[in-house]
Structure 1
Amino acid sequence: MPVQTIDSSAGHRGRGVGLGLALASAVAFGGSGVAAKPLIEAGLDPLHVVWLRVAGAALVMLPLAVRHRALLRRRPALLAGFGLLGVAGVQAFYFASISRLPVGVALLIEYLAPALVLGWVRFVQRRPVTRAAAVGVVLAVGGLACVVEVWSGLSIDAVGLLLALGAACCQVGYFVLSDQGTDSGADTPDPLGVIAYGLLVGAAVLTVVARPWSMDWSVLGGTADMNGTSVAAALLLSWIVLVATVVAYVTGVVSVRRLSPQVATVVACLEAVVATVLAWVLLGEHLSAPQILGGVIVLLGAFIAQSSTPVKPSPDPVASGGPERELSRRSTAA
């Protein structure tokens, strides 16, 4: 009996630590757009900000890539897919969208990814989905209509909307690739290794696309305006690289290993809430009441879609906040 009590206490402590790490990950991820937008407004191209973020994080994670170098031989397609879609594609479209949209709106649109995954499963792969999943899709789409305020003739920036939808589609592409290219069991790749190589692949791709040699590097030596407050550009970049990328990915992976996927999904949805609140407080980006209500509906629909696994013989990759959390979920299941 005493042994069971000790084990129970240790389990509660482990879940408590996991919950704390999941909250830290949500806060870290949610702060990326708030730190990036002042740099973009200071004169940096969105693609250059993405390149700085991904290349800096890849450099920090390089030791992990060396440790898991066997992945290059075992999972080249997965590494390429994660780098192209889960890192370069998602971040490039998201950062481009926040240059034209409020941070919270852009991230809420990106949260359509779980609904789009289920649409792919139902209409492209022609596999049945649960009724609850269908309800989640309807809620997410209806909430998006409130976020973009369709009744006012789509007053939101159309290009920004398309860019945010591009970020959501990149997440869907990664989830589909993950479903086809990974196996369960002992051969499941270590998620930290995949993240490290995904960042390296993303940095290589973005180097060709963003052409950082044409960047105005002097911006990084100055300050950026954050709703009337001058903040050192180097400090904002350090936050984006170290906190919003490295710390966010690592804490997300570790937290999911200590929590159930359902709990991790709920906490992951806080990322959009954190981003919206931080943008409201630090950038002065106020959302209207219908947009706030729509955001709540989008997150509710995303949660239902994420919690309702499509009917299939093996697990299906439904998003829980981002590709890195799906990798963590697979590792936990194994």
Structure 2
Amino acid sequence: MHETSGTETSLRGRSRGFGLGLALLSALAFGGSGVAAKPLIAAGLEPLYVTWLRSAGAALVMLPVAWRHRALLFRRPALLMGFGLLAVAGVQACYFAALSRIPVGVALLIEYLAPALVLGWVRFVQRRPVSRAAAAGAVLAVGGLACVVEVWAGLSFDVLGLALALGAACCQVGYFVLSDHGGDDEDGAHPLGVIAYGLIFGALLLTVVVRPWNVDWSVLAGSADMDGTTLPAVLLVAWLVLLATVLAYLTGVISVRRLSPQVAGVVACLEAVIATVLAWVLLGEHLSAPQIIGGAVVLIGAFIAQSSTPKPPRDVASRTGDETRAEAAMPAGSTRSAGSTGSAGSVGSTGT
């Protein structure tokens, strides 16, 4: 009996360690999306076109998964289209557009206002109570953001860039609210299927808006500059599609199933840290001491907000960036919940 119990404990420990490793890999993959996208934008590709390349490429890779879960098209069409509109097209388009005007770390940190905005939705739209700890976390996040954008200097960053980053946060709010309605019934949608079809619908929507056939494709045959290092543009596109989207989502999905909400929530916050460090090392983007402190306060506030809400709209504050995007579809009754995502994106199981 004791031997069996010890074996089960050992297996759980190994599974947890494996899940943590995958969660860190997912955070690293999601955190690198801005670093890969910014040189492409600087090389002449419009932010929306970069968004389309990422979504369309990932959608093609995920086609086999979409085919396996094709029944979702008839059972949950509104969920799939909403996921594609907000979690794929909206968040990515606003985020990448913001990158063309402000640093990667600042853009991603602003996205972490989403937990505070969701609390407002829960309190004033859904009219559900919000704990004092959650409200304090939201206040911390807003205060930290004031330090990040240096409000005392009259907003040291481009105002439109800040507005676009805030738009990405608002799209994430829509994602979180949608996730609250996505798996409450017995007809819950499989998270992998929602990720696949979300990418497909997002790519189709962006195709109509971007009209990629009118874009100068020759840019992809050229190179892009990453803080003095010249890289093939197509290599950066492959990075965005295979690493920052497909690998990030899939590793996140597996990892979230193996971690507790608390651990997954902490790992999710690492996405912003990883993005900022990568932008510093690879793009030469430096933040001042007050901005670094403010960023830490934003992350702390976001974590408190997401972990203290009485009943967050299923994983309400865990995935930001590019990141949070798959947890939305977690089926009802799943063992994963609120901060559960190894990072950005792992759908219910769970995002940039």
Q: What is the TM-score normalised by the length of structure 1?
A: 0.96
Q: What does residue 169 of structure 1 align with? A: 170
Q: Cα deviations across residues 282-330 of structure 1 (Å, max 9, x unaligned)? A: 0000011111011000000010011113358xx6441211131343586
CA contact (8 A) 1:34 1:279 kept: yes
CA contact (8 A) 1:118 1:310 kept: no
2: CA distance, partners of 1:284 / 1:155: 18
Q: Which of 321, 326, 329 lines up with 1:327 in the alignment?
A: 329
Q: What does residue 267 of structure 1 align with? A: 267
Q: What does residue 116 of structure 2 align with? A: 115
Q: What does residue 247 of structure 1 align with? A: 247
1: CA distance, partners of 2:182 / 2:241: 28
* Deviation larger for 214-223 or 37-46: 214-223
Q: What does residue 139 of structure 2 align with? A: 138
Q: What does residue 318 of structure 1 align with? A: 316
CA contact (8 A) 1:77 1:181 kept: no
CA contact (8 A) 1:82 1:198 kept: yes
CA contact (8 A) 1:309 1:316 kept: no
CA contact (8 A) 1:46 1:99 kept: yes
1: CA distance, partners of 2:129 / 2:279: 39
Q: What does residue 66 of structure 2 align with? A: 65
Identify unmatched segments of 5+ residues in structure 1: none
Q: Cα deviations across residues 38-93 of structure 1 (Å, max 9, x unaligned)? A: 00000000000000000000000000000001111111111011100000000000
Q: What does residue 228 of structure 1 align with? A: 228
2: CA distance, partners of 1:244 / 1:132: 33
CA contact (8 A) 1:15 1:258 kept: yes
- Match for 2:200: what amino acid? L
Q: What does residue 127 of structure 2 align with? A: 126
Greater RCO (Cα-Cα under 8 Å, separation 6 or more): 1
1: CA distance, partners of 2:208 / 2:106: 29
Q: What is the TM-score normalised by the length of structure 2?
A: 0.91
- The equivalences for 1:1-334 within 5 A come to 1-183=2-184, 187-311=187-311, 316-321=314-319, 322-328=324-330, 332-333=334-335
What is the number of equivalent residue pairs in this alignment?
331
2: CA distance, partners of 1:257 / 1:332: 9
Tell me: CA distance 1:254–1:331, structure 2 relative to 1, closer, same or farther (3 Å).
Answer: farther
More helix by share: 1
Q: Cα deviations across residues 132-175 of structure 1 (Å, max 9, x unaligned)? A: 10011000000000011000011211000000000000010121
Deviation at 1:177, TM superposition (A): 2.0
Deviation at 1:332, TM superposition (A): 3.4
* Deviation larger for 197-206 or 127-136: 127-136
- Match for 1:318: what amino acid? V
Tell me: CA distance 1:331–1:274, structure 2 relative to 1, closer, same or farther (3 Å).
Answer: farther
- Match for 2:84: what amino acid? G
Deviation at 1:2, TM superposition (A): 1.3
- Match for 1:276: what amino acid? T
Aligned sequence identity (%): 73
- SS of match in other structure, 1:100: coil
CA contact (8 A) 1:306 1:318 kept: yes
